[in-house]
Amino acid sequence: MATQMIETSAPATRNGLDLVQMTQTVEAIQARPMLAQFQFRARNRWVNGGENRSTIRDFYGAGAEDASRDAAFEFTNGEPPVLLGDNEGANPVEFLLHALAGCVTTTTVLHAAARGITIRSLSTELEGDIDLHGLLGLDEAVPAGYREIRIRMKIDADCSEEELDSLLEFAKGHSPVCTTVCRPVPVVLERVRP
Name which of residues 59 to 118 contact a copy of itself (CB under 8 A): 59, 61-62, 66, 68-69, 73, 75, 77, 79-84, 87, 89-107, 109-111
Question: Is residue 7 within the footprint of a copy of itself (CB under 8 A)?
Answer: no
Who's near 62: CB < 8 A, 6+ residues apart? 28, 35, 38
**Least distance between a copy of itself and beta carbon 192 (Å):** 5
* Residue with smaller CB distance to a copy of itself, 7 or 30: 30
Who's near 180: CB < 8 A, 6+ residues apart? none
Closest by CA to 109, choosing from 157, 163, 149, 59, is: 157
Q: Are 157 and 118 in contact (CB under 8 A)?
A: yes
- Strand-pair partners of 59: 40
Residues 129-148 that bind a copy of itself (CB under 8 A): 129-138, 143-148
Residues 148-177 that bind a copy of itself (CB under 8 A): 148-156, 164-165, 168, 170, 172-177
**Least distance between a copy of itself and beta carbon 10 (Å):** 15
Q: How far is the CA of 87 from the CAs of 56, 98, 145, in angstroms? A: 21, 17, 21
Residues 18-57 that bind a copy of itself (CB under 8 A): 18, 21-22, 25-26, 29-30, 33, 35-46, 48-52, 54, 56
